[in-house]
C-alpha cells in the first residue's frame, strides 16, 4: 500500500476540507399556492402535487 512521503501540512489539509461543509437547501415561494418549497422539486399542497407552479397530480380527483 502507498504511504505518504511527507506529512500533510495543516494549511493544505484545511484547504482541501473547505468544501466539505453542509449547505442549506435553496427555497422558493410558489406563485400559485404561496407555499415555501425546495427548488426543482415537486411538492404537495392540500393533497395535490405541484411542480413549477402547475398542478401535476390531483389526489382528490384521481382517487
In a domain, 8, yes or no: no
pLDDT at 13: 95
Name the band, by pLDDT with cuts 50, 70 and 90, for residue 8. very high
- Tell me the average pLDDT across 45-62: 86
pLDDT at 63: 55
**pLDDT over 60 at 24, yes or no:** yes
61: left (phi over 0), alpha (psi -120 to 50) or beta: alpha
In a domain, 57, yes or no: yes
Q: Percent of the chain having pLDDT more than 90?
A: 60
Give the CA-trace dihedral at 49, 55, 61, 63, to 10 degrees.
-30
Number of domains in the chain: 1
Name the band, by pLDDT with cuts 50, 70 and 90, for residue 17. very high
In a domain, 16, yes or no: no
In a domain, 43, yes or no: yes
Give the CA-trace dihedral at 32, 42, 47, 25, to 10 degrees.
-90
Mean pLDDT taken over the chain: 90
Amino acid at each position: 500500500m502507498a504511504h505518504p512521503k511527507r506529512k500533510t501540512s495543516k494549511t493544505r489539509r484545511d484547504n482541501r476540507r473547505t468544501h466539505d461543509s453542509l449547505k442549506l437547501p435553496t427555497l422558493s415561494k410558489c406563485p400559485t399556492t404561496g407555499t415555501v418549497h425546495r427548488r426543482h422539486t415537486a411538492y404537495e399542497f392540500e393533497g395535490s402535487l405541484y411542480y413549477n407552479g402547475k398542478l401535476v397530480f390531483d389526489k382528490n380527483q384521481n382517487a
